[in-house]
Each structure stands twice: as structure tokens, then as C-alpha cells.
Chain A
Amino acid sequence: MHGRRCKLHKEVGKVSSAQAVYTVVLAIIGSATLIVPGSMIKVAAQDAWIGCLVAGFGTLVTGALWLWLARQWPGRDLFQLVLAAGGQWLGGLVAVVLLIWIGLTLTGATWIGADAILVVFLPETPRSVLAASILIPAAYAARSDYQVVARLSQLTFWGMVGLLLVLIPLSATEMEPLRLAPVLANGFGPVMKGAGVLVGILTENMALIALLPMIRPPVRPWRLLVAVTVLAAGMVLLLDVWTVSVIGARLPGRFQYPVLLMAHVIGVGDILERLDALMMALWIAGEVSKIAFWYWLFCRGIATLLRLKEWRRLVWPFFILLLAASVAWVESSTAYPAALRAWSALFTPVIGLVVPLLLLAATAVRRMQRSSASV
């Protein structure tokens, strides 16, 4: 048993394409399912679901740029690819930008996780304890390598899907499809703003590049990108439609975590009621899956950049840093949306468009130089 476990653990390339999809989907929406529907409905009202379609198509394009880049450098993971395409200086700079972005993603996700538990369930518990309780299992999974993260994501993904499949029919009596009308009453402006909120998160679909070399048997990356983007955008769309059809478009924008409130509304007789704890448990599992993936990528990235042989040794030192950052990141929940907007406005175009285009250009120049040198 011991030998078999060790063998599995050490074996490279034991992630199936489905597991890779679940991992990246949760890396995108693991923490977003609680806050993004409310943020989108706040700006796009009942048209938030259209914003999901727009954001989905938009991020398919940015994801395709990254896939195109990965095709030029097959067999490399994200940071190897960046350093190979950009060279020592440009590649190093891009790797640093990516690491800052991933660090912010980790910090933000941990902050939100702790905040949601604090606001909704345990208002007297110190934020640092809640943040640690999310970060520790995530760090443990990350240290156990990507296979463990993928299995965790697989379990969590189906748990979340299963819960939605139960909750949505249960709330059918409270749903009023007319609440989704009128469509496009305020034109495309609010829809585009709503799409902007989601684009900032769906741009994370480029994380697929990090898992591509580990997928066995290899599959067409385009299919995986489409699956990841459609599933992530589709889940947010489903939550948008569900939330608006049950509690309308005005109320969700006033709550920090409106999706959790849906559990207040759902009840079958006097038997199946108060599903808040179940929703929260699965959401925390999604949160841990998301943080575990980005944590793993963060430590791998630093090790690749600094040419360290053992990336696992970075996990616990960075745990202290991330914990401190996630507690001190923003002062209060009122400052959080502003911080998120500023961070998203800066990094979304950089990660989605500027970096892949820059690296594609660098690759083309490098190839031209190589071919002229060979001639």
C-alpha cells in the first residue's frame, strides 16, 4: 500500500483531461460563486446573464492567445514557457508580473473566504484564524503536488454541481422568470460593465497552460479551453439567473454574498430547510481548491524563476506571508470592491492580452533570428 501510494504520488502525468478541467474551473470560480453574481447584478441588473455570455466569448479569445503561445513551446509548463519565450530579461519580468498577480489572487481569495465566514456565520472569530483554516489545507494540498489538487477539485466540483442540481429545483416555487425582464432595458452599457466584472475572473482560464504538460492521455488543448470557459461562465450564468428569478435584481446588489441568501428562501415543507451550512461547506471546499491550485503554481513559479530544485520547501514560508497579506490586505469589506476593481483593471488586460501578445512577438523574433543565423 505504502509503495503504491508513493508510486502514484511520484508518477508524472497522472491528471486526466477531465480532472484538469475541474481544477481550472475551480481555480477560476472557486471563490467567485459567492461574490461575482452579486457584483454583476449590481451593475447589469437582470441582464447580468448576458454579461456572462459576453465575458465567456471574450476570455475564449484571451485563452486562445495563451494556447497559441503554448503551441510554440510544447511540453513546457507556464513559467518554463514564459522564460523560454521571453528569454532571461523579458521572460523574467513577465514571470515576476505573473507571480505578483497570482500572489494577489491568493491573497484576495483567502480574504474573501475568511470574510464570508466572518460576516455570515462567525462574527466573533478573528479573521486570521479563519484565513489560516482555509490556507492550511490548501497549502497541504499544494505541497502534495498537482495530482492531489486535481482530485480535491474533482470531488468539490461534483459536490457543487450536485448541490446546485438539488437547490435549484427545490426553489422552483419561488422562481419567477418574469423577473429577468425587461431584457436590455438600459442598452448594452450595463451588460458590458457586468461582463467586465466576470472577464477579470475568467481571464484565469490561461491557468490551463500550467497543467497541459501533465495531462495524460494528451488531448486537444482547444477543447479543454472551451470546456473550462463554458463551464466557469455557465456556472456564473446559472447563479445569476437563479438569483434574479428568486429574489429579483434589486436585492442581490445590496448584499455582500447574495448566493448564500438563497438558502434562506429554499424550504420544502418543514423538513428540508436551512441549507446555509451545506452551501457554505461546499463553497469553502471550492475556495480551498482554488487556493491550493494557485498556491501550487505560485511555489512552482518561484522555484522555476530562481532555478531552485525543490519547490516544496517554499510552501510553508510563503504560508506565513500569505496569511499576513490576506489579513492586512484591505481594511474592511467596503474597501474590498474598490481594491478588486483597481487590481482587476490593471491586471486583466496585462494577463489576458499584453503578456501573451508580447511573448508571441518575442517568440517570432527569436525564430527569425535563429533562422537567419542558420542561413
Chain B
Amino acid sequence: MRVRRCWGWLLSLLLLGTGCWSRREVNEVAISSAIAIDEERNQTIRITMQILRPTAAVESGQPRSGTFNVTATGPTTAAAIRNLDQQLSRRPEWKHNNAIILSENVARQGVGEIMDFFMRNHQSRLDQWILVTRGKAAAVLVPRFQLESNQGIGIRRLNQSAVHSTAATVPVRLYDFVTSLTNPAEDPVAAAIETVEFPDPSGEGEVNPRIRMRGAAVFQHDRLAGWLDETEARSLDWFRGEATGAMVVVPCRKGPGRGTSVQLISTRSSLQPYWKNGQPAVRATVRATGQLGDLMCQEDLSKHEALVDLQRRTAAQMEAEMAKLMHRLQKDLGSDAVGLGVALERTFPAAWKKMSPQWREIFPKVSVTPEVVVELTQMGTSEGKLISSGGGGK
């Protein structure tokens, strides 16, 4: 019995002891919130890391930002990140990193080699958001959020709200980005982020710098092919079935008015390849449900026919936007960000094997037909129109 007890103690010590071997206490690490990657003129990589400032380090009575940025260069991503150690009294820990921001320059040169580090390092998590910015990536990490303590969390929340609210961008996580990157049947896409300077609403001349998610960056293999604006980005979301929320403003059917806002609640999509005159073609079916956001037209939606008509017009507008996006991707950018190749590979694997080496030449010629069905399930809390054209209540 005594021997067993001894063994029990030894085992407990062993289990506790191994945990101490590689331990890093929270007061020994510098926790990263976001990383920006730029490229210098001499082809060295510049890494800028936003580090969370612990509350204990903030001097009492002196309000300081919850973060600070450090930057270092190196010939490779790993070397640049390791060089950050020269400026930090604590070792960088980026298991909690929220976002990786790439500059346009880096994205145009090709991101395949840069991504290798993030897929290889044990601290890197697959759920980080990938973003591309038009200017310097480091500029995005200058603190600009009013409601968030750091850029990383702010960017993460902007991505999350983009899915459910505006669909003005295409939020992509690291694992989705790399899956597309390694698949010859599709091209990657990433959210576009930018810094903007809004004049102060009070009109006192001050300028408020802000961060904005706007549009998307589409790639051809691992190189940036071009940019999509907000309308194109939301169309891409509809193709990919990833946006649950977007506001579609449908022009008034007749008479003056700003239009009718239809707020989409959910969208589901599927790509169905088929053959048309011996050439591959794809039917993109989108089923969206939504609710009425507001009514700024002289229309009476209390009648079922009017509602059906609004649903049809919303669908037609979405179809037109999707067709415009496909034209842009096929004719201007040459990027299969929609994933037509993946749909063809899944449906016609034998034919795909033959056409995959020439996919870049075939892709612009593929006929894509968007078919959208919109169902308005809710009209909001009020009925009919608040004020009629004559100015009186209904």
C-alpha cells in the first residue's frame, strides 16, 4: 500500500512537472492582437505586430492606449517575426492573434510563400482573418477604433458583422484562404480593409481617422488580381452562400421615391454545372429570405400581388448584380473566386481532369446564369405605408 502511495505521489509530481517545463507565464509574454505584413524595396519583409498592453503596465492617472505596435524586417516571415524579439522585453505570443493584414504590394507579389509560415508555426491558429489593404498594411494597425481597445478585436468584430449585416466584404479565415490557395480549381479571395478620414460631424474641422471594411481582394492563384467594390463583394457573398445579411435597395416601380429597402436575413446558394452546346455552363441558384427595411416609394404592399412583385424585382436586381460580378471576374480579373472550377470538378470529375490544365482559358467562356428566388417573410412591425403621397396618414 505504501509503495502504491509513493507511486501515486510520483505520478502527480510528474504530471505537474511536465507542465512547468515549457511554461510561459502571462507576465512573461507579449500577446499579439494583429499582424501586418509589408514588403520593403529590397524585398525584405516588414512585420508589424500589435501587442496588447497589460493593464498593470498602464500608469495610474495617465490614459494610454491598450496596445502598441512593434515592427521589424527580415528576409523571411519567420526571420522578421523573430527579429521583433530585439525590441520586446517579453517574447511575442500570437496564439490569440485575430487578423493578418497584407499590403497590396505583398499581395501582388504572391502570398503563397508568406502563408507557409502561418500554416507551419505551432502558434498560428486557422481561425485568423485574412485581409488585404490598398496602402501600407502597418497603417491599419494605428489605433482607430472608438469602441474597441485594440485593432485586432475591432477587425474581428467588423468581419463578423460584415457577414450578418452589410455583406460589403467577403470575410475569409486563414483555413478558407489556404484551402482555396492550394486548390487549382478555385482562386482565393480576402476581405479588403482601408483607413479613411472622416471629417468631424460637429464641423469643427477635426479629422477622425477610421477603419472600414470595403469590398474584397480577389486573387489569381496566389497573386492579387484586383479589387471588388462593395456591390460586387456582396454578389460574391451570394454566389458563395456566405452572407446572411445585406440591404438591397430596389427602385420604385412607378412615381417618385428613393426606393424600397429589402433586408436579407439569409441566403443559400448552389452552383449546378451543366453542358450547353458542348461547353461547360453553370446555373447559380440563390434562395434568399428577407424582410422589408423601409418603404420610400408610393406603393401599397398590403396586397399580396404587390409583395410578389417586390420579391420578383429584388430577385431581378440581385441577378443583375451577380451577372455584373461574373463579367468582371471573367473578363477583367480572370479570377475564379466564385469556385466554378470546384463545382465542375465535383459534378463532372472526368471532364474536369481534361479541362483543368486549360482552366484559365476556359473560365472566361463559361456561361453563368444566376437564378435568384427571394421570399419576404416579414414586413416589420408596421403595415402599409406610413404617409401617403398627399401627406395624410393612411
Which of the four size classes fits the interface of chain B? 20 to 34
Q: Report if A272 contacts B (CB, 8 A).
A: no
* A184 to chain B: closest residue by CB: B349
Q: How far is the CB of A247 from chain B (nearest CB, A)?
A: 6
Whether B347 sits at the interface, judged by CB under 8 Å, is yes
* Residue among B22, B122, B350 with most chain A CB within 10 A: B22
A254 & B11 in contact (Cβ 8 Å cutoff): no
In the complex with contacts A122-B21, A125-B21, A251-B122 CB distance below 8 A: no
Most buried by B among A130, A132, A264: A264
- Check if A267 is an interface residue, CB within 8 A of chain B: yes
Q: Which of A260-287 contact B (CB under 8 A)?
A: 261, 264-265, 267
How far is A226 from B284 in the complex, measured between Cα atoms in Å?
45
A122 adjacent to B22 (CB under 8 Å): yes
**Residue on B nearest A122 in the bound complex, by CB:** B22
Cβ of A124 < 8 Å from any Cβ of B? yes
- Across-interface contacts of A137 in B (CB, < 8 A): 11
Q: Is the CB of A254 within 8 A of B182?
A: yes
Q: Name the contact of A265 in the complex, choosing from B175, B178, B182 (C-beta under 8 A).
A: B175
Interface string of B5-47 (1 = CB under 8 A from A): 0010011001100100110000000000000000000000000
Report the bound CA distance from A140 to B7 in whole Å: 8
Q: Nearest chain B CB to A152's CB is how many angstroms away?
A: 13
Question: Which residues from A are CB-within-8-Å of B127?
Answer: 264-265, 267
Tell me, in angstroms, the Cα distance from A136 to B14 when the chains sit together.
9
Assuming the contacts A124-B22, A129-B18, A265-B127, asked whether A185 and B183 have C-beta atoms less than 8 A apart, the reply is no
With a CB–CB cut-off of 8 A, which chain A residues contact B178?
Answer: 251
For A264, list chain B residues within 8 Å (CB): 125-127, 175
Pick from A130, A186, A254: contact of B119, CB under 8 Å: A254
Residue of A nearest to B153 (CB): A270
Q: Is the CB of A250 within 8 A of B179?
A: yes
In the complex the two chains form, is B349's CB within 8 Å of A182's CB? yes
| B82-99, CB < 8 A from A | none
Size of A's binding interface in residues, CB under 8 A: 31
Known: A122-B22, A124-B22. A182 touches B347 (CB 8 A): yes
- Flag if B175 contacts A247 (CB, 8 Å): yes
A61 to chain B, nearest CB (A): 31
- Is the pair A250, B22 in contact by a Cβ cutoff of 8 Å? no
Is A261 in contact with B126, judged by CB distance below 8 angstroms? Answer: yes
Mask for B168-201, Cβ within 8 A of A = 1, else 0? 0000000100110011000000000000000000
Complex contacts, A188 vs chain B, CB 8 Å = none
The answer to the question of B57 belonging to the interface, with a C-beta cut-off of 8 Å to chain A, is no
Chain A residues in 8 Å Cβ range of B179: 247-248, 250-251
Residue of A136, A181, A251 touching B11 (CB-CB under 8 A): A136
Query: Bound complex: CA of A3 vs CA of B21, how far in Å?
Result: 40
Looking at the assembled complex, report how far the CB atom of B394 sits from the nearest CB atom of chain A, in whole angstroms.
42
Q: 0/1 per residue, A110-122, Cβ < 8 Å to B? A: 0000000001111
| Residue B1 lies at the interface, judged by CB distance under 8 Å to chain A | yes
Is A307 interfacial (CB-CB < 8 Å)? no
| B21-A119 in contact (CB<8A) | no
Q: Which residues of A contact B21 (CB under 8 A)?
A: 122, 124-126, 129
Cβ contacts under 8 Å, B375 to chain A: none
A129 CA / B179 CA spacing, docked (Å): 35
Bitwise interface map of B from 100 to 133 toward A, beta carbon under 8 Å scored 1, else 0: 0000000000000000000100100111000000
Instruction: Say whether A133 faces chain B, with CB atoms less than 8 Å apart.
Output: yes
Q: Tell me if A337 counts as interface (CB < 8 A to partner B).
A: no
Is B18 within 8 A of A119, CB to CB? no
Chain A 45-63 near chain B by CB (<8 Å), digits 1 or 0: 0000000000000000000
Of chain A, the residue at the smallest CB distance from B183 is A250
- The reply to whether the CB of A2 lies closer than 8 angstroms to some CB of chain B is yes
A181 to B270 CA separation, bound complex (whole angstroms): 14
**A178 at the A/B interface (Cβ < 8 Å)?**
yes
A182 and B122 in contact, given A125-B22, A264-B175 (Cβ under 8 angstroms): no
- Pick from A133, A185, A254: contact of B349, CB below 8 A: A185
The answer on a CB contact under 8 Å between A123 and B22 is: yes
Q: Inside 8 A of A186's CB, which chain B residues have their CB?
A: 349
7 additional A-B residue pairs with CB within 8 Å, beyond A178-B346, A181-B346:
A123-B122, A136-B14, A182-B345, A248-B183, A250-B179, A251-B175, A254-B182
B-side residues, CB < 8 A to A, are 1, 7, 10-11, 14-15, 18, 21-22, 119, 122, 125-127, 175, 178-179, 182-183, 345-347, 349-350
Q: Which residues of A contact B (CB under 8 A)?
A: 2, 119-126, 129-130, 132-133, 136-137, 140, 178, 181-182, 185-186, 247-248, 250-251, 254-255, 261, 264-265, 267
A-B residue pairs in contact (CB < 8 Å), sample of 15: A123-B22, A123-B122, A124-B21, A125-B21, A129-B21, A178-B346, A181-B346, A185-B350, A186-B349, A247-B179, A248-B179, A251-B182, A254-B119, A264-B175, A265-B127
What are the 9 A-B residue pairs with the smallest beta carbon separation, nearest first? A185-B349, A264-B126, A122-B22, A182-B349, A181-B346, A125-B21, A133-B18, A124-B22, A125-B22
